[in-house]
Structure 1
Amino acid sequence: MVQGTTSDAGKSTLVAALCRLLARDGIKVVPFKPQNMALNSAVTTDGGEIGRAQALQAQAAGLQPHTDMNPVLLKPSSDTGAQVIIHGQVRADMNARDYHQYKTIAMQAVLESHRRLSAQYQSVIVEGAGSPAEINLRDRDIANMGFAEAVDCPVILIADIDRGGVFAHIVGTLSCLSESERKRIVGFVINRFRGDISLLQPGLDWLEGETGKPVLAVLPYLHGLYLDAEDAVKPEQSEQGGFRVVVPVIPRISNHTDFDALRAQPDVDLRFVGPGQPIPPADLIVLPGSKNTRADLEWLIGNGWQDALRKHVRYGGKVIGICGGYQMLGRTVSDPHGVEGAPGTTAGLGLLDVDTEITQAKRLARVQGRCIFADAEVSGYEIHMGRSDGPAMARPAFEIDGRTEGARSDDDLVLGTYLHGVFDAPQAMHALLSWAGLKNVKPVDLAALREQSIDRIADAALPLYKALQERAG
């Protein structure tokens, strides 16, 4: 099991790297994350929903994603509440206190999935969540040491040196653990190192002497990776091409991995705009998915995006809304059952002639089809609780599995779709960027870039892999 001293220490990446290295050696390996809290998710082959990082790890292992790889997924809908997904399906919406009590039941789902995977695969590489040193969450823990103790799993502790304080992170984490938990840690991995390793060596020697545990590997900082982020929006912008695409970073942004392909496109200057930042001029504005459409719609309006969008369209700029962003573009968004918050109706941005009702049932599907406005194949996945209807749907964007999907405005400046991953396929990206006004779109194969990135992190983790092989005899 890989646990981290902090969130974003590199747990997901290291698990993917180890999965690829084991798969290269012909070992049947599977990734596993007992509990994940993330708004980036993927649709599995068995019709469920898991964290997107586990789908990437499955790819590294040469597998299709399955709900057993992430049996408990929490999708925050507010600062204190989340949608609880068990074995890929929505179980309930709970506040933090109620979920803390529910974890005893969730642990049974975790152990059930782990038993199934252990019976099918030679190796299970487990990813923890956050940090095992979160004292307030130790009771009923199912994500870190609580799981490791339950299944008697050895642990690697990874820490990020790039953020500073790496030795304090490691020693401080150990001090927060029980004696049995400390014994379970077989060694440390220091991640994202750049510089002269000889200058780090005195610190490594001190750490090993202080803790009595080895530093198994020091992994380098790798630039230019194209890997699905678990949750946090990547801060770097592309800022490389002349065609500017702007994305508002709404509070409950979901599946922002939709924009990874745009970040890799050399002709695109991709900008994420957060709260309080000025809205720059753009060729294309893309409204992302949201876990709480009405609340994020109100945030957009409060931060000046409604006026900016209307001005953008008035001067001929193009707009795309994906999933929750599509719903926001319409006339109204209603939630009669209180699925995402208090029941009620919120006025939309009014750029598409559709109305949306948030539904209690969630649609989960992997789909493929064709663009209606261009000769291009399209593929993606749907994860949404809502149904849209209105005159704009008479001008759909795609034909998916024999049905029309999405909507376009009468002036063809605004497009809405429920398809996540819509930019990933090279043909679809070419069609959408051409529709938005970019000429001579250069092809970008995001799937190939992901494969190359997985191989790069695996190659970088090879010293750790060899060290673990030696320990295992």
Structure 2
Amino acid sequence: MAKAIMIQGAGSNVGKSMVVAGIARALANRGLSVRPFKPQNMSNNAAVTEDGGEIGRAQALQALAARVAPHTDMNPVLLKPETDTGAQVIVQGKLFATLRARDYSKSKPDLMRPTLESFQRLCDGADIVVVEGAGSPAEVNLRRGDIANMGFAEAAGVPVILLGDIDRGGVIAQIVGTQTILPEADAARIKGFAINKFRGDVRLFDDGMTVITQRTGWPSLGVLPWFADAWRLPAEDVMDIASSKGDGFKIAVPRLGRIANFDDLDPLAAEPGVSVDIIEPGRALPGDADMVLIPGSKSTIADLADFRAQGWDIDLKAHIRRGGHVLGICGGYQMLGREISDPDGIEGGPETVPGLGLLDVVTVMTPQKRLALSRATYLPSGAPVEGYEIHLGETTGPDCARAWLDLSGRAEGASSRNGQVRGCYLHGLFGSDAFRAAYLSQLGAQVQVAYSDELDAVLDRLAVHIETHFDLDLLLRLAQRPRYCNS
């Protein structure tokens, strides 16, 4: 029977996902069977699993770190924001409902059962399950019905390690303040703490660690220095992948309000000769870009309206006149067409809106979501492509006759007559080295990185980082056999 340990953060973005990935790889390197788990995640950057569902991209990376296939049980509740007040709720990989925030709060108690069921299945096949919390347990206003942090830890009987972020400053207050504000029973579930993102000589914080230990009574699992290769890992936030390397092939990416599945950009940003420039609202698309890549969107019609409001539609046409290239993936592909029709009001009210008109195709939104891991062939070169599909809608039109991908005998994608504008539904395609080299070399860029090999090497370096600075032996002693929920 597996043991389990939970990494919770003293705040958001303290580096929990990366640390869990590092722990998973380090323990896997020790010969243990490891499974990552996050009860509840909020992200539009999703991964498709072999069992036909979707989970947060961070849990897919953690599975890779653990050297196991991603599975929907690793992230049983995934929230995919569609508006400022509502989100799709994915339960065990499938759409459960689209709910406003207040309605989701009411439904959370009903989601504890499937969450514990998924956790139990992971435990049945592992030596240790490393659980990642969400946000911070110090948000005690959210404690009632919680399934993401202490609510889950209590229900499953899992001990907690609290992780603080010294890069933000005030880390002593983060850790000590969390203990102070938590209910006594929740504070007792925390069995140790660690500090992340230290820059410089960690010995300079020895007195700080002593203060935290004296104030809380918790043992320290260590101070993790800043991991310099963190930027090479798939990003949770789109701004984490922005890279301005100056000279080289420049790709401009407009930051859509509901940008989704932007892991398409990670392999591009890893290339030394490629610069990925995330264009924030208020900035024009740069005139020196070689390619504009319009990424996926969780709310295509709303993001298309914002695209126009920024004047990016005008910038894009100027880019094409200068001879630049355009690629739209998934929602970006839909935007490039002549028209988007949503007769059932899937993204809001029933409506039909004009697209950017750069591809002679139309898209009709349909309620059935396509989720699939896919293998394809890049038709211009014959290069193999691996990726995934995760979208609503069907796209048809004359430019689909110039498909540039073959998905097991099915034509995929569309291209303009002059070849400057392309679109497709296949995410993750740039992770295929042969395809990335063929595609970019046709546009004048040079490809140097074997992305999958490099990513695996970074995870191994992260594991060494964890082994060196984090007390894994103490973590294994603190881990406990969880309490199961079979009722």
The 1-side partners of 2:51 and 2:479 are apart by: 34
What is the aligned-residue RMSD (CA, Å)?
1.4
In 2: Cα distance, 1:368 partner to 1:344 partner: 34
2:199 aligned to which of 173, 194, 198: 194
Seen in structure 2, the aligned counterparts of structure 1 residues 238 and 450 have a Cα distance that, compared at 3 Å, is farther
| Structure 1 position 176 matched with structure 2 position 181 | yes
Alignment match, 1:456: 461
Distance in 1, matches of 2:175 and 2:340, equals 47
Where does 1:106-255 land on structure 2 (aligned, <5 Å)?
Answer: 106-225=111-230, 226-234=232-240, 236-255=242-261
Which among 394, 411, 427 is matched to residue 387 of structure 1? Answer: 394
Letter of the aligned partner of 1:406 in structure 2?
G
TM-score of the pair, normalised by structure 2: 0.94
What secondary structure is seen at the aligned counterpart in 2 of 1:136? helix
In the TM superposition, what whole-angstrom CA distance separates every residue of 1:348-370 from its partner, at most 9, and x where no partner exists? Answer: 11100111111111100111121
Identify the match of residue 346 of structure 1 among 353, 376, 379.
Answer: 353
Distance 1:152 1:99, change over 3 A: same
Does residue 248 of structure 2 align to residue 257 of structure 1? Answer: no
CA distance in 1, matches of 2:43, 2:476: 32
Aligned partner letter, 1:12: S
Matched residue of 1:9: which SS? Answer: coil
**Aligned partners of 1:335, 1:472: CA distance in 2, in Å?**
50
Shift of the alpha carbon at 1:377? Answer: 1.3
Secondary structure of the residue aligned to 1:423 is: helix
Distance 2:123 2:474 in 1: 23
The amino acid of 2:121's aligned partner reads R
- In structure 1, what is the Cα distance between the partners aligned to 2:223 and 2:187? 21
- Retained in 2: the 8 A contact 1:240–1:266? no
What does residue 438 of structure 1 align with? 444
- Taking the TM superposition and a 5 Å limit, the aligned residue runs for 1:411-426 are 411-426=418-433
- Structure 1 pair 469–101 and aligned structure 2 pair: CA distance change class (3 A): closer
> What is the CA distance between 1:434 and its match in structure 2?
2.5
Specify which of 359, 364, 367 is matched with residue 357 of structure 1: 364
CA distance in 1, matches of 2:107, 2:392: 23
**SS in structure 2 of the partner of residue 271 of structure 1:** strand
Q: Does the CA contact (< 8 Å) of 1:233 and 1:256 recur in 2?
A: no
2:48 corresponding residue in structure 1: 43
Uncovered stretches (5+) of structure 1, i.e. residues with no partner = none
Tell me by how many angstroms 1:260 deviates: 0.7
Instruction: Name the SS for the 2:471 alignment partner.
Output: helix
Q: Secondary structure at the match of 2:99?
A: strand
CA–CA distance in structure 2, aligned partners of residues 79 and 22 of structure 1? 39
Checking the alignment, whether the CA contact within 8 Å between 2:202 and 2:225 is kept in structure 1 is no
Match for residue 270 of structure 1 among 276, 279, 292: 276
Q: 1:468: how far off?
A: 2.2
TM-aligned CA deviation for residue 324 of structure 1: 0.4
2:98 matches 1:90: no
**Relative to structure 1, is the Cα distance of residues 136 and 222 closer, same or farther in structure 2, using a 3 angstrom cutoff?**
same
> What's the CA shift for 1:231?
4.0
Distance 1:48 1:292 in 2: 20
Q: Secondary structure of the equivalent of 1:189?
A: strand
Deviation at 1:433, TM superposition (A): 1.1
Q: Which residue of 2 aligns with 1:302?
A: 309
Which of residues 11, 14, 31 is equivalent to 2:16? 11
Note if contact 1:34-1:110 (Cα within 8 Å) is conserved in structure 2.
yes
CA–CA distance in 1 between the matches of 2:63 and 2:113? 23
Find 1:375's aligned residue among 363, 376, 382: 382
The answer for the alignment partner of 1:318 in structure 2 is: 325
More displaced 10-residue stretch of structure 1: 69-78 or 262-271: 262-271
Q: How far did residue 331 of structure 1 move?
A: 0.7
Q: Report if the CA contact (8 A) 2:191-2:219 is conserved.
A: yes
1:366 paired with 2:347, answer: no
Contact 2:406–2:412 at 8 Å: present in 1 too?
A: yes
Partner of 1:279: 285
Q: Deviations over 1:173-206 (max 9, x none)?
A: 2222111111111111100111122221111111
Q: Give the Cα–Cα distance (whole angstroms) in 2 for the partners of residues 30 and 206 of structure 1.
A: 34
- Whole-angstrom CA distance in 1 between matches of 2:133 and 2:53: 21
Higher alpha-carbon deviation: 168-177 or 320-329 = 168-177
**Which residue type is aligned with residue 81 of structure 1?**
G
| SS of residue in 1 equivalent to 2:323 | coil
Task: Measure how far apart 1:235 and its partner are.
Answer: 5.8
> How far is the alpha carbon of 1:469 from its aligned partner?
3.9
Distance 1:107 1:6 in 2: 23
- Equivalent in the alignment of 1:288: 295
- Following superposition, the deviation at residue 472 of structure 1 comes to 6.6
Structure 2 partner of 1:397: 404
Which segment is superposed worse, 461-470 or 251-260?
461-470
Indicate the SS of the match to 2:240.
coil
Greater mean deviation of Cα atoms: 323-332 or 197-206: 197-206
Any conservation in 1 of the 2:159–2:478 contact (CA below 8 Å)? no
**What letter matches 1:174 in structure 2?**
Q
Contact 1:240 1:267 in 2 (8 A): no
Aligned residues: 471
Residue pair 1:238, 1:263 contacting (<8 A) in 2 also: no
- Native 8 Å contact 2:10 2:137 kept in 1: yes
Residues 352 and 392, structure 1, Cα contact 8 Å, conserved in 2: yes
Q: Which runs of 5+ in 2 are unaligned?
A: 1-5, 481-487
Q: Identity over the aligned pairs, expressed in percent?
A: 50
Moved more, 227-236 or 90-99: 227-236
Please, what TM-score do these two structures have when normalized by structure 1?
Answer: 0.97
Asked if 2 retains the 8 angstrom alpha-carbon contact of 1:396 and 1:405, the reply is yes
Contact 2:284–2:311 (8 Å) recurs in 1: no
Q: Distance in 2 between matches of 1:355 and 1:112?
A: 42
User: Partners in 2 of 1:234 and 1:362 — Cα distance?
Assistant: 28
Is the CA contact 1:426–1:443 (under 8 Å) kept in the aligned structure 2?
Answer: no
Describe the SS at the equivalent of 2:223. strand
Deviation by residue 1:272-317 (Cα, 9 ceiling, x = unmatched): 0101123212110000100000000011100011001111111211
